[in-house]
């Protein structure tokens, strides 16, 4: 859950199944804080809005009930359409109601919310989109910083890992070639577990890429590698 401010109005943004949903209740407060639900229902009750909602659902919702949509479109329930009734009649997923003292209200997919913003005010919609984009840029920046941090931790743990192998596993009488093999073998155990291939296999498949496979790992994979390396190091002791 995140908050953005548009024209002195605090608006909640939540993520659900990798999609962003914006509070229509908060947005409606820009026009009438006491009757926000009525504002949303008035917007939903227009022919244009119902048609727009139907197009969004047909593109994004394979279980959309087109028959229910036509029932709404032809008048039944459209004169004062609520999100609850829209969902019940069409199995819609673009709009939903969320209960709760904090963060509750009517939420809609960002594209639907932007359309609602148009109905409220062209100026309001402009600043809504601008603030939403700023929020996404900040989130991306934080994610990039986290990835770099996990990448650094992974490098540090890798060095600790190889030092532990040298101290506790590799006997003093093995040859240099054998030592290199042991190091590679232990490191590739993690590579195979996380990436499904050894470092050499990755280089053979990606001859034009710089660095190694760890440089192209996701934050989750990098974090998991750090945890595994830590666990492996502790087990050696």
Task: Assess whether 18 and 91 both reside in one domain.
Answer: yes
> What is the structure's pLDDT at 173?
47
**Residue 229, pLDDT score:** 59
The pLDDT of residue 21 is 95
Identify the burial level of 123 via C-beta atoms within 10 angstroms of its C-beta, where 0-12 means exposed, 13-18 middle and 19 or more buried. Answer: exposed
Boundaries of domain holding 197? 141-236
Q: Say whether both 50 and 13 belong to one domain.
A: yes
Whether 6 has a pLDDT exceeding 80, the answer reads yes
98 lies in the same domain as 16: yes
For the chain, give the mean pLDDT: 79
- CA-based radius of gyration for the chain: 27
In tens, the pLDDT along 169-200 reads: 545 544 555 455 445 566 666 666 666 677 77
Residue (of 104, 77, 106, 108) closest to 90 by Cα position: 77
Domain boundary among 85, 120, 155: 120
117: closest CA among 6, 4, 2, 16?
Answer: 6
For residues 13 and 113, membership in a common domain is answered with yes
pLDDT band (50, 70, 90) for residue 160:
low
């Amino acid at each position: 859950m995140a908050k953005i401010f548009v024209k002195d109005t605090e608006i909640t943004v939540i993520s659900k199944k990798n999609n962003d949903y914006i509070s229509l209740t908060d947005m409606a407060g820009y026009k009438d804080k006491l009757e926000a639900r009525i504002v949303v229902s008035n917007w939903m009750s227009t022919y244009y809005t119902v048609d727009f909602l139907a197009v969004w659902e047909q593109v994004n919702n394979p279980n959309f009930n087109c028959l229910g949509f036509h029932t709404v479109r032809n008048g039944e329930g459209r004169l004062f359409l609520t999100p609850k009734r829209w969902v019940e009649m069409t199995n819609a997923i673009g709009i939903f109601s969320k209960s709760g003292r904090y963060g509750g209200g009517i939420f809609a997919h960002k594209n639907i919310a932007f359309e609602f913003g148009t109905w409220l005010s062209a100026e309001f919609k402009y600043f809504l989109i601008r603030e939403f984009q700023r929020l996404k840029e900040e989130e991306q920046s934080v994610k990039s910083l986290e990835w770099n941090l996990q990448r650094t931790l992974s490098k540090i743990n890798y060095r600790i890992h190889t030092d532990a192998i040298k101290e506790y596993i590799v006997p003093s009488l093995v040859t240099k070639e054998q030592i290199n093999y042991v190091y590679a073998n232990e490191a590739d155990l993690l590579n195979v577990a996380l990436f499904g291939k050894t470092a050499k296999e990755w280089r053979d498949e990606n001859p034009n890429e710089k660095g190694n496979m760890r440089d192209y790992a996701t934050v989750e994979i990098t974090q998991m590698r750090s945890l595994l390396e830590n666990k492996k190091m502790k087990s050696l002791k």
